Structure 1
C-alpha cells in the first residue's frame, strides 16, 4: 500500500500541477491532502477545483479557515496586502473550505496488530500548532497517546522530516509532509511524502514502514511573477525563490 500525502499548496498552481504529474508517474494507491489550499498566491480557485474534481480527501488548514473572516467587495479586490489572496476565493469554494474535516484516521490490522495513522494539518490539538522535528519527545508522545496515533502525519511548518520515537518495544512515527507550493527549508522544489506499508509492516521494526520525501521541480518564476503582477506583497515572490 503506497499512500501519498501532501499539504500547503498555497494557491501555487504551477507547483500543484507539477506535483500531480509526478504523482501520475509514481501511481500511489491512495492520496490525501493535509490542508492549506489557499493564501500567498493568485490561483486559490483553480487549486481547490482540481482537488474537488479529483475527489482527493482533504483536511482544513489554518489558511483555508481564514476565508470565513473575509468580507469581499469590489474594493477589497483592488487593495494590496496579503489578504488579497483570500478575497480571490469564490463563494462556492469558501463553503467547501469551511466544511473540511480537521483529522483523518486510517486504521490498519496487520500481523495481529492494530495501529493507526492520524492525519492533521498543524497537530491533533490545534490546527495552528507546529509539530517541529525537535519538539519535546514527551510532549509529542502525550499528544499521540491522546489521538491514539501510532503514525502522526502533519504539515503546517513547510519543513519535511521523519522522526522515530521509541516507546517500549514499539516505534512511533511523526512525519511532516513539507510543502507543495511554499517550501521553507531552503530548497525551492516542491515536496510531498510517500508512505509505503508492506504486508509484513509492524511497529516493532522501523524499517518495515518506508517513508520517501518526493521533491519535484516546477516553474518557480511563473509562480513568483504572478505574485509580483498582483496586489500581493512582493516579499511572497522572494520567499518562493529562496524557500524561506
Structure 2
C-alpha cells in the first residue's frame, strides 16, 4: 500500500497544483494532508476548495487555527501585514478549517503484528510544537509511547527528514517530517511531500521494512512570489519562496 502525505501548502496554489499533478501520476492508494492550508499567500480559498473536492482527510495546522477568532472587515482587507492572508478566506472556508481534527491514526495488523501510524501537524502534544531532527531521543520516545505511535508523521517545521529510533525492547520507531508543499525552509525552493510504502512484511521489528520516499517537485516559484509582491503581504514572503527559507 502506498500512502501520500503532504503538509504546509500555505495558500501557494502553483505549488499545490504541481504537487497534485506529480502525486496523481504516482497513483497512491490513500492521501492525507497534515494541515496549514492557509497563510503567506493569496490563494487560500482555491486550495481549500481543491482539498474538499478531492475529499482528502486533513488535519488542522496552526495557521488554520488562527482563522477561528479572526474578524474581517472592509478595513482589515486593506491593511498591509501578515494577517491579510487570513482575511482572504471566505466564510465557507473558515467553517471548514474550524472543524478539522488534531490527529489521525491508522492501525494496521500485519502478520498478526500491530503497526500504528499517527499523523499530527506539530506534535501529538501541541499543534505548535516543532518535532525537529535533533529532538531529544528520550523525550521523543516518551511522546510516541504516550500516543501509541510506531510511525509518527509531522509537518510544521517545513524541514523534511526520516529518523529511526530504537526502543528498549529492540524494536524500531520512525519519525518522519514530510516537509512543505508551498513554503520549503530547507534551502531547496522545490516543494516536498512523502510517499510511504507499507507491505505485508512491514514491522516494528525490521528497520528497513518501512519505505519512506521524499518527493521534490518543481513549480512556478516566480508566479507564487509575484502574487505576494502584487498584494499587501510582506515582500519578504516572496523572497523566502525564491530562496527556500
Fold equivalence (TM over 0.5): yes
Match of 2:9? Answer: 9
RMSD: 0.5
Match of 1:109? Answer: 109
Task: List per-residue Cα deviations over 1:79-129 (Å, max 9, x = no partner).
Answer: 100000000000111010011000000000002211210000000000000
Unaligned runs of 5+ residues in structure 1 are: none
Match of 2:90? Answer: 90
1:63 aligns with 2:63: yes
Q: Report the 3-state secondary structure (helix = DSSP H, G, I; strand = E; otherwise coil) of the residue aligned with 2:164.
A: strand
Q: Report the 3-state secondary structure (helix = DSSP H, G, I; strand = E; otherwise coil) of the residue aligned with 2:240.
A: helix
Unaligned runs of 5+ residues in structure 2 are: none
Match of 2:223? Answer: 222
How many residue pairs end up in the alignment? 244
Q: Report the 3-state secondary structure (helix = DSSP H, G, I; strand = E; otherwise coil) of the residue aligned with 1:24.
A: helix
Mapping of 1:99-178 within 5 angstroms? Answer: 99-167=99-167, 168-178=169-179
Task: List per-residue Cα deviations over 1:54-88 (Å, max 9, x = no partner).
Answer: 00000000000101121101111111000000000
Task: List per-residue Cα deviations over 1:7-58 (Å, max 9, x = no partner).
Answer: 0000000000000000111110000000000000000000000000100000
State the alpha-carbon separation in 2 of the partners of residues 11 and 35 from structure 1: 11
- When normalised by structure 2's length, the TM-score is 0.99
State the alpha-carbon separation in 1 of the partners of residues 202 and 115 from structure 2: 11
Q: Which runs of 4+ in 1 moved over 2 A?
A: none
State the alpha-carbon separation in 2 of the partners of residues 215 and 243 from structure 1: 12
1:41 aligns with 2:41: yes
State the alpha-carbon separation in 2 of the partners of residues 4 and 206 from structure 1: 20
State the alpha-carbon separation in 1 of the partners of residues 19 and 96 from structure 2: 22
State the alpha-carbon separation in 2 of the partners of residues 209 and 143 from structure 1: 20
State the alpha-carbon separation in 1 of the partners of residues 187 and 139 from structure 2: 27
